[in-house]
Structure 1
Amino acid sequence: MAAHDTRNSSRKLTVAARTRSKSVIKSILFKDMTNPPNRPDFSEDNGIAAVDLIGFFKSYFAWIVGVALIAAALAYAVSLALPSQWLATGVIQLGQVGQLEDRSPIDTPARALARLQSQDFQNQILVKLGLPLELGASRDAFLLRNTLTGQSQPSSDLIMINARGYSPELAKKTVTEARDAIIASDAQLFAPYLDRTQKRLASLETEIQNAEHLLNSGASIATDNAAAARSGDAGQGVVSSLLGNMLQSDLRQQQVNTRKFLEDLQQQRLTALRQLDPVYAYNTRPVTEVTVSMSPVAPHRSVITAFGGVVGLVFGIVTGLFWHARRRRLRA
């Protein structure tokens, strides 16, 4: 009986040893699978990573929303402290010379746009507005230098001039002065062409009058010669007839040449008149009156407020996660 109990005891010990060895082997074999080196540890000790998000937002909802609202309110207050800006706009048409089939612009859109942004041109506008030229001396001057721009459409001679100001009056005056300065500058290029064409037209008018006078004189001489030939003596009829025919032939040829010359002069006069026609030749001119926006275009208070709200929302979530994780560690 004692031997039987001893055998049962040894058998139980053997089974227990085998079970323990299997557990050890399993723990060794499957250790890397349960806790691989590249996988984060999602145990209770890992604070923020193990947060119950639903419970977190339930606990910190008021905090997160409150911080976001406070940040949005502060951003809106800051936007109210910023000065309002108005936008003024004016459109001009660049001048041109020539005729419909052969027109050339006084100035190109690229040069006009570059002139608007040049420092010398902006200094000229600042002087007309009574603003200082020194950088940083006036916020109005700083805004003008940064917002006075132009836009052009492809295959178009229209230029849109834009500028901002801290008051509607200053914005409108800025665009008006810039527009007038471009028109005055282009007028200096248009005036010589206009003067040259007008002088050419006056010269053509004089030449046309001379040609018409010569044509009328030749016709009168031909009439007189014909009358003299008819009233000549009979003995001189042959000689007078020959001379009269020769003179009449020369006069006819002269009349033909004069008439062709006159037609050419008249065509040149027509061309000069077309070159002076306001439809084909004109200086740079305004197309629309300078207009100002009905309300300020900056600062964008809604955008600033929304940005402040987003920053406050992110800050509330981050601080909430931090305090939530810290409380979990303290409880542990």
Structure 2
Amino acid sequence: MRAAVYRRFGGPEVVHVEELPKPTPGPDDVLIRVHASTVSVADYRARSRDLPKGLWFFGPLTFGAFRPRIPVLGMDAAGVVEAVGANVTRFSPGDEVIAMLGSKFGGHAEYARIPEHGGIALKPANLDFDDAASLIFGGHTAVSFLDRAGVGAGDEVLVNGASGAVGSAAVQIAKHRGATVTAVCSGANAELVRELGADRVIDYAETDFASEGLTYDAIVECVGNAPFERVESSIKPGGAYLPVISDLRGMLRARGNARRSGKAIPSSSVPSSPTLLAEVVAIAEQGGLRPVIDSAYGLDDVAEAHRRVATGHKRGNVVLRIRGAEEGAAEHHAAAEQG
């Protein structure tokens, strides 16, 4: 199979396409013929080892000391089930699925393997593969944090970094649940987040939301520039601080800050979950979560996709097309006719 591979750490140019052995599914595995994935901030961090402050020592442990431990990046995948192991009962060849591969990566290849009870679910029926892939990373992460905070109808939620992959999903999902949403982003992205459902938009270049004196039931931190100490007074008593991105100091102080303040601060770790992914699918099929795609690249242009993510200015998701769009559409229509 063809796969985007990096054999050393560095800039976007270290990622290139190679031929690798096709994975073989074990008895409990699902083998996916991948149509689309995304190049996420997590892929950028793994490739460059540019980690939040204080987390430098996690790089060698997680990604490898001298060379990449996992050469194929890609935390998500949308595609068609190619084969299943002998013990698999939930999926069959031909099923259109999405998968959150998480820290095991592997989505930037023509085939990806995942356990049946891992982060895999049937693809939203109303979306093509590019669109479906763009929901996985951000949607899964956003649902995880919003669930742990119990965000629902009547809550007031602020999303810092509302135009990124996780932020754009968090705005939509919180709004879908009946919350009032304040979105923080650049002025250039204000119209986008309004279209996603934000009730109020703050241009971070003009207004510091932490100095306004307003309070929220939950603050979703997707940037890394709003630590708990800075925004604590902006969170209502009994509210939640949701650190999608956190540095070492924030992680070490989270439990103490939560105990002292009485405000929830869940871990920034988000294990892959089929339940969370099924929730993302349900919201998308109900029209509460729509794709936000910054740009799309073919597999042979994977280095350019990494360059786009490295700018730090993408809107939503950068899609990586593993199979051609026309080929994917043909398979999708064939599967629909068979169904």
TM-score when normalising by structure 2: 0.19
Query: Per residue, is there more helix in 1 or in 2?
Result: 1
Query: Per residue, is there more strand in 1 or in 2?
Result: 2
Structure of higher RCO (CA pairs closer than 8 Å, 6+ residues apart): 1
Larger radius of gyration: 1
